[in-house]
Amino acid sequence: MANTQAICNSFKSEILSGIHALGTSVVRAGTGADTIKSALYLASATVNYDTTAYSATGEVSGTGYSAGGVTVTNATAPTNTTGASGVGYWTPSANIVYNTVTLTTAFDAALLYNSTQGNKGIGVFTFGSQTITAGTFTLTVPGNTSSTALIRLS
């Protein structure tokens, strides 16, 4: 069997776990899992691929909603598939729920971010424009598979 140049598939999931510290110095001080949060943004906001960190600018506000959003249940370990085109993937282990909120200005995006690591942005996820009055807003997370996971690296 010949050698084949490729990024190791295991590395793809290990970077999601913070195992590798590339660069000239290690910046990780903690040994526990990071706290991941989800904040909702107004339809008139501008959160996208350029968003580097959580910001209150453009975030929804309303009864029962706290700035910064909610903590995401982070009990699923990142994993990966095998083979030359392997995929590293991760999905939160539970739906993201905003309980008993009133948000009367249209919102259509959620920012997933790492509050342990300086509120660094992970991803922006959009959905149809919503408002809610004294209700529960639930973001249903996809299955944690290589083809459906919320975060997939290939």
Does residue 53 fall inside a structural domain? yes
The count of structural domains within the chain is 1
The pLDDT of residue 135:
97
Mean pLDDT within 11-38: 73
Q: How confident is the model at residue 31 (pLDDT cuts 50, 70, 90)?
A: low
CB 38 within 8 A of CB 112: yes
Burial of 26 (0-12, 13-18, 19+ CB in 10 A): exposed
In a domain, 3, yes or no: no
Residue 17's closest CA among 90, 95, 73? 90
Task: Give a yes or no: residue 116 inside a domain.
Answer: yes
Is 4 inside any structural domain?
A: no
pLDDT-based confidence at residue 23 (cuts at 50, 70, 90): low
* Residue 42, pLDDT above cutoff 60: yes
pLDDT in tens, 54-112: 999 999 999 999 999 999 998 888 889 988 888 988 899 999 999 999 999 999 999 99
- The tokens describing 71, both together, are 């903590």
Domain membership flag for residue 131:
yes
Instruction: Name every residue whose Cβ is closer than 8 Å to that of residue 111 and which is 6 or more positions away in sequence.
Output: 38, 39, 41, 47, 51, 54, 69, 121, 122, 123, 124
Query: Is 29 within the bounds of a domain?
Result: no
Q: Is residue 28 part of a domain?
A: no
Q: Give the predicted TM-score (pTM) of the model.
A: 0.86
**Rounded distance between C-alpha atoms, residue 100 and residue 83, angstroms:** 45
In a domain, 94, yes or no: yes
Domain holding 110, by residue range, is 9-23+34-153
Closest to 110 (Cα-Cα) out of 40, 48, 37: 40
Nearest to 76 by CA among 146, 144, 7: 144
